[in-house]
């Protein structure tokens, strides 16, 4: 593992930080909303784990907060416009 990737959290830890499943983390990586690298585990043939870039985790947290704020704003507008 390269030195720059030593502080990158695993997909499981990223999932707990984002309050989502590790499968969802892998999906976000595949669609490009998170960035990460797949690292092979020595001595375990066929086993590897995703390490997620901490900057992309912070960006995704901001995206989730912005989305929650937008949904809250929309609900507020709908309740104002309802009779």
pTM value is 0.76
Provide the domain limits for residue 28: 3-81
Question: Which residues does 63 contact at the CB level (< 8 Å), separation at least 6?
Answer: 33
pLDDT at residue 58 in the model: 95
pLDDT at residue 74 in the model: 87
How far does CA 29 lie from the centroid of its chain? Answer: 8
pLDDT at 31 over 70: yes
Domains contained in the chain, number: 1
Percent of the chain residues topping a pLDDT of 70: 90
pLDDT at 65 over 90: yes
Mean pLDDT of 36-63: 89
Location of structure tokens 């507020």: 76
């Amino acid at each position: 593992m390269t030195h720059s990737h030593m502080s990158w959290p695993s997909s499981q830890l990223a999932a707990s930080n984002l309050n989502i499943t590790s499968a969802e983390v892998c999906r976000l990586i595949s669609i490009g909303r998170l960035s990460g690298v797949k690292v092979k585990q020595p001595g375990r043939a066929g086993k590897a784990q995703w390490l997620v870039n901490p900057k992309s985790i912070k960006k995704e947290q901001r995206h989730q907060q912005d989305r929650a704020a937008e949904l809250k704003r929309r609900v507020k507008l709908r309740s104002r416009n309802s009779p």
